[in-house]
Homo-oligomer: A and B are copies of this chain.
């Protein structure tokens, strides 16, 4: 049965999420140690103690096992933008919304650093990540539009600002990664936004 299934489900989902996290963790460590494309799905499955089938059921692709770490960022970012005061200009709202994301980098710098390195150094991962991240743009722009009271789709200006904000994040992360996490991400982000403002 099953009438009222949907929504907030139960033990099963929790277990699933836990397994998924575990698989992701195992995969991540193997990738870091051996290199992303030196590890086959069979090896991942073996290392995690499940079958190849199961692994591929949890993560549709090898890439997803790593990139799942970024899932939900778009949602969180958009929510953060919507939570900013109504009168605030787009740039300020975007800049503050990004604090939501970089918080993770402060909580676990070495893990974040390792993830960044793995993703950036693996073309297949980097490509997939860019594709996913590119989709944050419209989500962010939509949030800007809502804030502005619009019901329709985002304007060109809002889209550009959202995309530029994400570039700031990426460039700041570039420099942060290059510095082995020694530089301050907040400072780098501020600097990046300042570069947009300067004529």
A residues contacting B by CB (< 8 A) are 89, 91, 123, 126-128, 130-131, 134, 156-161, 163-164, 167-168, 170-172, 174-175, 188, 191-192, 194-199
The contact of A160 among B127, B160, B192, by CB within 8 Å, is B192
Residue contact B131 to A192, C-beta cutoff 8 Å: no
Copies, count: 2
Q: List chain B residues, Cβ under 8 A from A171.
A: 156, 159-160, 163
| Contact status A160-B195, CB under 8 Å | yes
A191 to chain B, nearest CB (A): 6
Majority secondary structure of chain A interface residues (helix, strand, loop or mixed): helix
A164 vs B134: C-alpha distance in the bound complex, in angstroms? 13
Name the one of B130, B170, B191 contacting A157, with C-beta atoms under 8 angstroms: B191
Q: Nearest B residue to A192 by beta-carbon distance? A: B160
A198 CA to B128 CA, complexed, in Å: 32
CB closest chain-B residue, reference A125 = B131
Measured CB to CB, the nearest residue on chain B to A138 is B174
| A159: chain B residues within 8 A (beta carbon) | 171, 174
The residue in A157, A161, A163 that gathers the most chain B C-beta atoms within 10 A of its C-beta is A163
Give chain B residues whose Cβ lies under 8 Å from the Cβ of A194. 157
In the complex the two chains form, what is the Cα distance from A89 to B195 in whole Å?
A: 12
